[in-house]
A and B are shown apart, each in its own frame.
Chain A
Amino acid sequence: MTALRTLLLLPRNVVVVLLRLYRAVISPLYGDVCRYYPSCSRYGLEAVQEHGVVVGGALTAARICRCHPWAAGGVDDVPLRKVRRYRTTNFGFVVPAPTALTPAHRKA
Chain B
Amino acid sequence: MASETDPALALPSGSRGASHTARRAWKMGKGLLSILFAVAFTFLGLLAITFFIGRVVPIDPVLAVVGDRAPRAVYEAARLEMGLDRPLIVQFLDYVGNVLTGNLGMSVSTGRPVAEDLARVFPATLEMATLGILIGVLLGVPMGVYAASRQGSLVDQVIRVVGLLGYSIPAFWLGLVGLALFYAKLQWVGGPGRIDVFYDGMVDPVTGLLLVDSLLAGETEIFFNALSHILLPAAVLGFFSLAYIARMTRSFMLDQLAQEYITTARVKGVPERLVLWRHAFRPILVPLITVIALSYAGLLEGSVMIETVFSWPGIGNYLTTALLNADMNAVLGATLVIGAVFIGINKISDVLYRVLDPRAR
A and B assemble together: no
